[in-house]
């Protein structure tokens, strides 16, 4: 089975995440797209997620409700933080040894790949799918990669969180309607 893994904090999942994954699906046609919310990004230590793991999973499931080849996996959330991609891939291979794996990421993460834990392990076990806008990123020797270009959505998770905290409107199209409604309800509950 051709499986594309898409890891991230998804704090919260927004239309930019979804557009990137949809573009990948249209061009590569994997059998499934798996969103993997991270317990704690190694690049964001010291900063807790705005939403709890279960809230992030719930909003992801809402966002993917009508997307039949997409699913949410809590695999990374079940592991001890921080979230090392190689551990997720290792656990995935143990559970689904026949899968042909891909890992979706943006240009910024591709350019930081040398800083990831065990990038050689990842390169041995999967193909990276690098979504970019404009100039194609440079290939890395010994690393299988597919480069996809497309528009970048303006949505920003940090700006969404800021607007939610201050009860400000969120620009149209940044969040799926059900996700925005749930995120606002969570924030309103905190204020009580």
Domains of the chain, CATH where assigned: 2-154 (3.40.50.620)
Helix, strand, or coil here: 105? strand
Q: Give the span between the Cα atoms of 59 and 49, in whole angstroms.
A: 14
Predicted confidence (pLDDT) per residue in 25-80, tens digit: 999 999 999 999 998 877 665 667 899 999 999 999 999 999 999 999 999 999 98
Selection from 47, 41, 32, 37 nearest residue 17 by Cα: 37
Helix, strand, or coil here: 98? coil
- The contacts of residue 27 (CB under 8 Å, 6+ apart) are 148
User: How distant, in Å, are the alpha carbons of 92, 131, 147, 190 from that of 44?
Assistant: 23, 21, 26, 23
Selection from 149, 151, 154, 150 nearest residue 173 by Cα: 154
User: How distant, in Å, are the alpha carbons of 20, 24, 66, 115, 162 from that of 75?
Assistant: 21, 22, 22, 22, 28
Predicted confidence (pLDDT) per residue in 141-179, tens digit: 999 999 998 888 899 999 999 999 999 999 999 999 999
Q: DSSP letter at 141? A: T
């Amino acid at each position: 089975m051709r499986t594309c893994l898409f890891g991230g904090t998804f704090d919260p999942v927004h239309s930019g995440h979804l557009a990137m994954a949809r573009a990948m699906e249209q061009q590569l046609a994997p059998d499934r797209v798996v969103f993997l919310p991270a317990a704690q990004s190694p690049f964001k230590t010291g900063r807790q997620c705005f939403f709890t793991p279960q809230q992030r999973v719930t909003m992801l499931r809402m966002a993917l409700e009508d997307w039949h080849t997409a699913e949410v996996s809590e695999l990374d959330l079940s592991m001890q933080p921080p979230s090392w991609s190689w551990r997720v891939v290792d656990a995935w291979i143990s559970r689904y040894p026949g899968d042909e794996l891909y890992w979706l990421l943006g240009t910024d993460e591709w350019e930081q790949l040398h800083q990831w834990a065990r990038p050689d392990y990842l390169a041995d076990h999967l193909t990276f799918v690098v979504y970019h806008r404009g100039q194609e990123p440079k290939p890395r020797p010994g690393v299988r990669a597919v480069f996809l270009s497309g528009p970048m959505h303006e949505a920003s998770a940090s700006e969404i969180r800021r607007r939610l905290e201050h009860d400000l409107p969120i620009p149209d199209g940044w969040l799926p309607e059900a996700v925005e409604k749930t995120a606002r309800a969570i924030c309103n509950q905190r204020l009580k």
